[in-house]
Amino acid sequence: MALTGTLDRPPHGAADPVVFVRETGEDRQLGLLVQGARCASCLAKIENGVSALPGVRQARMNLTTGKLSVAWRNHDVEPALIVEALARLGYPAVPFDPAEAVSREDAEGRRLAIALGVAGFGAANAMMFSVPVWAGLLHQEMGEGVRTLFYWLTALIAAPCALFAGTTFFQSAWASLRKGRANMDVPISIGVLLAIGVSLYETAIHGRHAYFDAAVSLLFLLLIGRYLDHVLRAKARSAARDLLAMQAATATRLTREGAMESVALRDVAVGDRLVILPGDRLPVDAEVEEGETELDVSLLTGETAPWRVGAGTSVQAGAINLTGRLVVRAVARSEDSAVAAIARLMEAGAQTKSHYVRLADRAAAIYVPAVHGVAALTFVGWMIAGLAFPDALMRAAAVLIITCPCALGLAAPAVQIVASGRLFRRGVLVKSGAALERLAEVDCVVFDKTGVLTFGRPALLHGDPDLVQRAAPLARASRHPLAKALASQAGPGAVADEVREVAGMGVEGLVDGREARLGRASFVGADNAADAETVLWFAIEGETPRRLCFSDDLRVDAAATVRALRARGLAVEVMSGDVAPAVRQVCEAAGIACFCAAMSPMEKAAAIDALVAAGHRPLMVGDGLNDAAALAKAHASMAPGAAAEASQTAADLVFQGEDLSVVVEAIDIARAARARVLENFGMAAIYNLVAAPAAVLGLVTPLIAALAMSSSSLIVTLNALRVGAGRRRA
């Protein structure tokens, strides 16, 4: 597998597909993440369109994951052409690393699914024998011989199935015990193993109390919960990975001979000369050697105004080149770049978070000793009361089996599956159940400004439609954010001829055969001293220059979101890296009184630490690299889908779309989920308060055990479905 390939021409955009091509002998394979494919006609269009390219042997689109796998022989096919062909068909595509796609994640899902199938088989067939036994027990029509035969048959089916299907629980319980803790899988494992052991013993002595069916159907129910939980998490995680793949960056390196080659980010070495085209992100910390341009550093510092750089300037990884071609010399490897300090802070934050004890584990910490204590007391009590040793032991075992926390084990995951599912449909990805629990506990919300309260991109304030249309042909040819905003306002249309971009100044070209310029005041010949960064000037041959103003718009529902958060008793504040006047303006518009401006990433993290130390539980909402450390340190964190890679990794939840109100919705659903989990624990506790004494007194028959255990699980699951039912009222 080669990771580098020579390019005849510069790559389009940041991610050059060449480095993602996998080679096995003659065969080449490329994985592409395709956006917008939804139906059979998309499938046909994509597969036929790509197969029709000369040299392509096979193109197969997976509609569920949105991934297209293209295979070809020898070197004939230029990967960039495939991406281009897809773009022409109307489906933007980005390459992804196929090696990463086949992750351990899938292996875990397969194991769970197979365990689920086996448990289902075991449960159904054990019931085939159990139901006649229960019927016989009730009507006293079945003799001891038949019953024992049936028990042996049940054992033959259920015991191997339970042992196989329960492996996940046994392993997790063992791992937890070795750490000196008892999670919920410990009582589950003990319950299942004990149920099988006791039942085998009972069957051998021709007794009545065999629980094979209960053990295996318990595992079946629990595995349903585990599997759904896994599928949901895998889905959220792969969606999060896809978002990151959209930002996948490769670098273009200049060889000694002056040729350009594409390299994977991790292969960039100190001293490499890299070409950064307009629109590309700086892959590593570097020093500018040639060229002049403006850099968008908003993801790094939160500052919206572009930064002009020239030869000799040190630039940081993550900045986006806006206007001119740059040649830079790498001064750090990707891992050692300025983001590394932020990454260290993120790690520290993630570590503190891993100490967070989840609700289910807190419940288990009370539950496990209580149940085992009761079982021990049952044994001792009945021994003192004069029962024979095997009988006393059986009753103690019955306590452990009947209290096996099926409902308790389902209580939290069932709710979290429903809650994450609802959030997923609203475009919010929840990375873990613990994240949801932490989100429910927050008492204040800290927003970043750029990209969170605002869209993070400028929009045209007001403008004569005629002027906009006349300037648009020039704007469409530029990558500068202001020009892009102008172009999007104008809609699709013609592009100016003979366009030339002057780095840091503007663009010039021919519009309707007349020479025109778009850019700074000095560039177009307007004499305006107060040349703000958010103003463009347009001049066309023979007319006076005219002005176009822009501003980074507040998200439409920012003020409403802030009010809704206050209504829920949450304090709201803003921490921004941008300059104070810009922050004040946005905060006033959004109705936030408490804000800090011009903060460095470290200051943000420290401020979050201070909040936590003061006993608060902050929710951090941020998108920039400068927020990553704060996101990792906050009690809970959210990042928009357009956020920097590091921020998305650090955040607990990632939300997509234009609405800020999903923050409120996420908090509502998290709180509702927490309420349901607590209710479920309550119900499980009531069940145990009834069932455990019955077991202590020896009143539990296999039929009662099976009924009680499945009905409690069912109730808990049904209750979980109520999550978020009333959220529209808010």
Using CB under 8 A, list all residues that contact other proteins.
39-40, 43-44, 47, 61-65, 110, 113-114, 117-118, 121, 124-125, 128, 146, 153, 157
Q: How is residue 336 written in tokens?
A: 């050692």
> Which of 114/377 has CB closer to other proteins?
114
3-state secondary structure 287-308: EEEECCEEEECHHHHCCCCCEE
CA distance 421 to 109: 18
Least gap, CB of 275 to other proteins (angstroms): 39
DSSP SS3 for 577: coil
**Beta-strand (E) ranges in 311-414?**
314-315, 320-321, 326-330
Q: How is residue 142 written in tokens?
A: 């079945």
Least gap, CB of 32 to other proteins (angstroms): 15
> Which of 125/301 has CB closer to other proteins?
125
Q: Which of 185, 296, 448, 552 is catalytic?
A: 448
> Which of 39/529 has CB closer to other proteins?
39
> Which of 231/340 has CB closer to other proteins?
231
Q: Which of 33, 32, 23 is nearest to 72 (CA)?
A: 23
CA distance 533 to 131: 79
> Which of 116/631 has CB closer to other proteins?
116
Q: Which of 488, 481, 539, 541 is nearest to 514 (CA)?
A: 541
Least gap, CB of 89 to other proteins (angstroms): 16
Beta strand 514-519 with 535-540: parallel, antiparallel or unpaired? antiparallel
Least gap, CB of 598 to other proteins (angstroms): 48
AA identity, residue 133: V
Least gap, CB of 158 to other proteins (angstroms): 12
> Which of 61/548 has CB closer to other proteins?
61
Least gap, CB of 54 to other proteins (angstroms): 21
Tokens 């029509």 label which residue?
A: 141
> Which of 65/247 has CB closer to other proteins?
65
Is 652 among the catalytic positions?
no
Least gap, CB of 112 to other proteins (angstroms): 11
CA 149 vs. chain centroid, Å, equals 52
Least gap, CB of 125 to other proteins (angstroms): 5
CA distance 489 to 463: 10
CA distance 184 to 620: 31
Output the DSSP codes for 452-518.
Answer: IIEEEEEEE----HHHHHHHHHHHTT---HHHHHHHHHH-S----EEEEEETTTEEEEEETTEEEEE
Least gap, CB of 118 to other proteins (angstroms): 7
In angstroms, the Cα distances linking 174 to 155, 185, 190, 417 are 25, 9, 11, 25
In angstroms, the Cα distances linking 295 to 246, 322, 381, 386, 506 are 20, 6, 77, 85, 14
> Which of 14/37 has CB closer to other proteins?
37
> Which of 39/385 has CB closer to other proteins?
39
Cβ atoms of 596 and 580 within 8 Å: the answer is no
> Which of 116/342 has CB closer to other proteins?
116
Paired residues of 459 in beta bridges = 551
Least gap, CB of 512 to other proteins (angstroms): 47
Tokens 């922050």 label which residue?
A: 583
> Which residues contact residue 618 at a Cβ distance below 8 angstroms, ignoring those fewer than 6 apart?
442, 443, 444, 445, 446, 608, 611, 612, 634, 635, 636
Least gap, CB of 242 to other proteins (angstroms): 15
CA distance 522 to 537: 9
DSSP, res 322: -
AA identity, residue 454: T
Q: Which of 524, 538, 535, 550 is nearest to 473 (CA)?
A: 538
Cβ atoms of 540 and 511 within 8 Å: the answer is yes
Half-sphere exposure of 646 (CA within 13 A, CB side): 27
Half-sphere exposure of 656 (CA within 13 A, CB side): 14
> Which of 114/699 has CB closer to other proteins?
114
Name the residues annotated as catalytic: 448
